[in-house]
Structure 1
Amino acid sequence: MPGKGLRLHDRSIFGVARKQFMLKSIIEKQDAAVVASVERTPSVRWVLASLSLSMLLSSLGTSIANVGLPTLAQAFNASFQQVQWVVLAYLLAITTLIVSVGRLGDITGRRRLLLAGIFLFTVASILCGIAPTLWFLIAARAAQGLGAAIMMALTMAFVGETVTKAKLGGAMGLLATMSAVGTALGPSLGGILIAGFGWRTIFLVNVPLGIAAFLLAHRTLPVDRRGPRTNSAGFDPVGTLLLALTLAAYALAMTMGRGSFGVLNMALLLAAALGVGLFVRAEAKAASPLIRLAMFRDRSLSASLAMSALVSTVMMATLVVGPFYLSRALGLDAALVGLVLSAGPFAAALAGVPAGRMADRFGAQRMTIVGLIGMAAGCFILSMLPAPPGILGIAGYIAPIVVVTVGYALFMTANNTAVMADIRADQRGVISGMLSLSRNLGLITGASVMGAVFALASRAADISTARPEAVATGMRITFAVAAMLIVVALAIAVASRARASRHSLSADVS
């Protein structure tokens, strides 16, 4: 019996040793799997580089075509009203589809959709470059705009997914910087390419950049998670169509007629208003709505979207008023006008990353208010600005414009950070698309409304032939209106922050 007990004891020792060995093997395998997973996980820096290049491409596509419109009118023997569709087709495609593609990314996977968007943008750029007719070029620009909408909607969503909350502001600032760089680079690069190589190169220049963006994104972006497809039937075709038609009607109402508001514009506005009603009704009944109407009960989100639209409306005033004020009131030639106009985007590009870091350090809501205060101060200065000739006039215009654009960079970075910080993973695409949509709607509205204010304040039938004094007066009144819009946005921001503070205090008490 003692021998039997010994054998049992030995067996138990061997059993424990075997279990320990097996447990050690499992742990080593798990450690190896973790190490392999870490090795396969792309660096956040490379992910941000990929997203930044996508943002640069989409913003460059917006600004580079404007400088080529006179050349395109000559090349295709077309009127300005016809060639302006080269720009409008791109903007309309982005505006009408950006929310829908954001939602589609939430459902199907953001990586594969972003790669498809970059591919489409690149192929459409080739088609633009070889376009035999104007209408072929316009159709290719619409396809290019769809690719740009995908890139714009999903870049911010990817940032929210790959960057920690503590560093989200810095990443948003980097995207804002690349957007500003693309906007500033477009006119100057386009002018050089047209002068040296012809108008086709302003589209073909996107091809090598698009290929680089595709390869970088393919290599660095995290693979889409393959979880249970609980929302595989979550796309809303009726809501998508209604929203696209509504936004198209509004965008056309704001852009057609070059500032004159006629019967067609009013009809399009009425169609847009009807479309809003139908869209709300359809979303209330949809099983998986494109935009959940309940999200607008979140007052912070609604406030952020409203502020983004107001601020973008004001920023368009700098693009509408600036060229006429510099050329007519200050008497600058075209080259100097272009140089002065680039000061604002250049300042925004320099301010983007520091603005993001400030949002991370001091809080996004606080920096939103600081950015709005800067914009209001710059607009008030412009509303009282005299128009002295020479260097004094140029410096007097550049200084407040830089204040406005730096304030804009700080506001947009902080506002986007505040919105994207606490969004559920399955809503990042659609919320990112809504932020971009609010910005685009503001720009479109500003082009029409601020242009109409400028023309009315100048009291000139044709602003291009108005007297310098009238143009200077129009500029001052336009920026006075812009300052009032920023004050409204500032009031919304202060109220939103106060409401958030009260909510936080009540949560701590309970």
Structure 2
Amino acid sequence: MASTGLVVIDITIVAIGMPQIRTDIAAGGSVESVVVTYMVAMGALTQIVGSLSDRWGRRPLFLTGIAAFTIASLAATLAPTLLWLNIARVIQGAGAAAIMVNAIPLLSDRYSGEERNLAIGAWGTFATAAGLIAPTLGGLLIDGFGWRAIFAINLPLGLAAWVVAVRVLPRPQPHPKPNTRIVPSERPDWVGSANLAVGLGLVTTLLLGEDDWSGIDTGLLVVAAVTLAAFAVVQLRVPAPALDLRMFTRPAFSGAMLAVFLSRALTIGGAVYLVVYFADGLEMSPTQAGLLMTPIFVAQMITGMVGSKMLSYLAPGVVIASGYALKAVGLGMLAMTITPTSSWWSLALPLLLWGAGGGIAGAPVMAVAVNVSPPERVGMVAGTLATLASVGAGIGTAILGAVFTFTGGTDRLGVTDGTRAVLTTSALLAMLAVLATLVLISPRRLPAPPRPRPRPVEQDARSKA
């Protein structure tokens, strides 16, 4: 949970620092790439890191992830150019993949049933709490020390997390089920993972490029399509795929994954350009922008455990759909409310609704994905969740950036118009998640809960009778 909080803090803090990064080292470049490269690297590498964790053990990969994340944070702190910073962000993304891919399997191995749902909910709530303090912390650091401080703060946090992990994480033990481990003849899917990384990298590069489409861009698009198609083919043929596409034949699993993808696309992408609106549209300082983002995370933290408890009384699809519907209402209200002179109190209620919807839907989505999958696939499920969440955030930021650029401008009114279009698009994505959830995660598509087995004492009593 602590290491997950470190990853989440980094995402939100960087969004707050984007205006200063643009002014300092990103003149003429796409500062959104600082967010996108991190998310796409994490998403593209999560599957292969998950496979390596199954082979080499979760503890060493987890510790390696924390170390890589911390060292890359030092490189980002010292970055003299945007290219340097993006390379450091790629390494951070690789470390974050090793951290995130282990969180849900560790919880799933320790807990079961309703306890598992509550544990996942607590994990998500803790991550949200980290996101809660990040905007304000980022604003204070940037106003006091500049944008480099948002990466420097990771150094003591990462070192502390690594020391604690060394002390408390259990040593690897032989797995009780041999068929849940990769046999020696099944090598990690390096080819498929490389195809995924190249394909996603090219797609996001094109989305973040200039407005004028060229022949080179067309060629890159063809290469991206070929590499992603090759990835799909490889996954169906190798004995140990990085992503088992057959899991998507379960409608509930597909619904949960689609909901995660859409949610991260609209949440991270929407938040990035909302911060731009606060800074350039309302001319707020980083601290003020961070404080104004607080209602989203406060509401999400409070309602995070509510969604988990609702699973005890309502069907998972209903709980998840209600959360995304509430998120859509908040985004729609926000789109209709913002102006170049909006007051903070007029934005508070829509921001609260946005965060509350995300809190209600977050943990149940992950619980559904875990509960409809075989226990021996939990690691791969966690990898798929993290992959789609990361890729959704990266691609969502890029796509919403194109919407922002196409509909907005550079003055206060233009920034407001672009942000309004982004929020409207995000609300539509949230409604699409509602429809997908209601159709794919309906009660008839979920497995029936297993009947409790009679205890041996009861069986003996019956036999004696």
TM-score band (shorter)? 0.7 to 0.9
Q: Out of 354-363 and 218-227, give the one that drifted further.
A: 354-363
Question: How far is the alpha carbon of 1:365 from its aligned partner?
Answer: 3.2
Residue in 2 aligned with 1:304?
A: 256
Q: Which residue of 2 aligns with 1:12?
A: none
Q: 1:255, 1:444 within 8 Å by CA — same for their partners in 2? A: no
1:464 aligns with 2:415: no
Letter in 1 for 2:426: A
Q: Supply the distance in 1 between the matched residues of 2:338 and 2:53 (Cα, whole angstroms).
A: 50
- Structure 1: state its 5+ residue gaps: 1-51
Q: Secondary structure at the match of 1:161?
A: helix
Out of 431, 436, 441, the residue aligned to residue 497 of structure 1 is 441
Equivalent in 358, 364, 380 of residue 408 of structure 1: 358
Q: Which residue pairs with 1:262 in the alignment? A: 213
Deviation track 1:50-77 (CA, whole Å, cap 9, x = no partner) reads: xx111111122223334445655676x6
Unaligned runs of 5+ in 2: 452-465
Structure 1 SS opposite 2:104: helix
Deviation at 1:302, TM superposition (A): 1.2
Q: Distance in 1 between matches of 2:151 and 2:26?
A: 19
Aligned residue in 2 for 1:364: 316
2:369 corresponds, among 391, 398, 419, to 419
SS in 2 for 1:287: coil
Q: Does 1:248 align with 2:194?
A: no
Give the direction of change, closer, same or farther, for the CA distance of 1:186–1:298 in structure 2 (3 Å limit): same
The alpha carbon displacement at 1:424 in A equals 3.2
Alpha-carbon distance in 1 for matches of 2:82, 2:289: 29
> Is the 2:39–2:393 contact (alpha carbons within 8 Å) kept by the matching residues of 1?
no
Q: Does 1:125 align with 2:73?
A: yes
Asked if 1 retains the 8 angstrom alpha-carbon contact of 2:66 and 2:162, the reply is yes
1:190 aligns with 2:138: yes
Question: Which stretch has the larger CA shift, 369-378 or 217-226?
Answer: 217-226
CA-CA distance at 1:371 after TM superposition: 0.8
| C-alpha distance 474-89 of structure 1, shift in aligned 2 (>3 A) | closer
Contact 1:313/1:442 (CA < 8 Å) preserved in 2? yes
Q: CA distance change for structure 1 residues 157 and 363 in 2, over 3 Å: closer, same or farther? A: farther
Contact residue 255 and residue 447 of structure 1 kept, 8 A? no
Identity of aligned residues (%): 26
Partner Cα separation in structure 2 for residue 135 and residue 386 of structure 1: 34
Note if contact 1:252-1:265 (Cα within 8 Å) is conserved in structure 2: no
- In structure 2, the CA distance between the partners of 1:372 and 1:327, relative to structure 1 (3 Å rule), is same
Counterpart amino acid of residue 164 in structure 1? S
Match of 2:109 among 148, 161, 177: 161
* Counterpart residue identity of residue 53, structure 1: A
Q: 1:191, CA displacement in angstroms?
A: 3.7
Question: Measured at CA, do residues 450 and 193 of structure 1 come closer, stay the same or move farther in structure 2, by a change above 3 Å?
Answer: closer
2:345 matched residue in structure 1: 395
Determine if the alignment matches structure 1 residue 239 to structure 2 residue 187. Answer: no
Q: Which of these residues, 270, 284, 288, is aligned with residue 236 of structure 2?
A: 284
| Cα drift, residue 104 of structure 1 | 1.9
Cα distance in 2, alignment partners of residues 243 and 402 from structure 1: 36
Task: Return the offset for 1:147.
Answer: 0.8
Q: Distance in 2 between matches of 1:477 and 1:198?
A: 30
Please state if 1:220 is matched with 2:163: no
Q: Which position in structure 2 is the counterpart of 1:346?
A: 298
Aligned counterpart, 1:36: none
Q: Residue 213 and residue 428 in structure 1: after superposition, are their counterparts in 2 closer, same or farther (change >3 A)?
A: same
Instruction: Give the alignment's TM-score, normalised by structure 2.
Output: 0.82
Match of 1:211 in 2: 159
Task: Give the SS at the match of 1:450.
Answer: helix
What's the secondary structure of 2:351's corresponding residue? helix
Deviation of the 1:299 alpha carbon = 1.5
Code of the residue aligned with 1:148 in structure 2: it is A
Matched residue SS, 2:138: helix
Q: For residue 333 of structure 1, what is the amino acid of its counterpart?
A: M
Report deviation, 1:206: 1.6
What residue number does 1:175 align with? 123
Name the amino acid aligned to 1:244: A
The whole-number CA distance in structure 2 between the counterparts of 1:187 and 1:221 is: 30
Q: Distance in 1 between matches of 2:56 and 2:99?
A: 15
Work out whether 1:313 is the aligned partner of 2:265.
yes
TM-score (norm 1): 0.76
Q: In the alignment, is the contact (CA less than 8 A) between 1:320 and 1:450 conserved in 2?
A: no
The alpha carbon displacement at 1:317 in A equals 5.3
- Alpha-carbon deviation of 1:217? 2.2
What amino acid is aligned across from residue 149 of structure 1 in structure 2? A
Task: Single out whichever of 84-93 and 394-403 deviates more from structure 2.
Answer: 84-93
Give 3-state SS (helix, strand or coil) of 1:342's partner. Answer: helix
Moved more, 213-222 or 427-436: 213-222
CA distance in 1, matches of 2:60, 2:164: 13
Other structure's SS at 2:442 match: helix
Question: Is the 2:304–2:362 contact (alpha carbons within 8 Å) kept by the matching residues of 1?
Answer: no
Asked if 2 retains the 8 angstrom alpha-carbon contact of 1:317 and 1:447, the reply is yes
Equivalent in 382, 388, 406 of residue 438 of structure 1:
388
Cα gap change, 1:295 to 1:136, in 2 (>3 Å): same
In structure 2, give the amino acid aligned to 1:115: L
Q: 1:63 aligns with which of 6, 9, 12?
A: 12
Q: Distance in 2 between matches of 1:354 and 1:140?
A: 37
Change (3 A) 1:202 1:476: closer
Paired with 1:126 and 1:483, the residues of 2 have a C-alpha distance of 37
- 1:474-495 Cα deviation digits (max 9, x unpaired): 5555444433332322222112
Q: Which has the higher contact order (CA 8 A, sep 6+)?
A: 2
Q: What amino acid is aligned across from residue 252 of structure 1 in structure 2?
A: T
Structure 2 residue matching 1:288: 3-state secondary structure: coil
Q: Distance in 1 between matches of 2:262 and 2:80?
A: 40
Q: Counterpart in 1 of 2:284?
A: 333
Q: 1:213 to 1:396 in 2, by over 3 A?
A: same
| Partner Cα separation in structure 2 for residue 421 and residue 502 of structure 1 | 9
CA contact (8 A) 2:40 2:201 kept: yes
Q: Deviations over 1:264-299 (max 9, x none)?
A: 555443322211211122222212222222212112
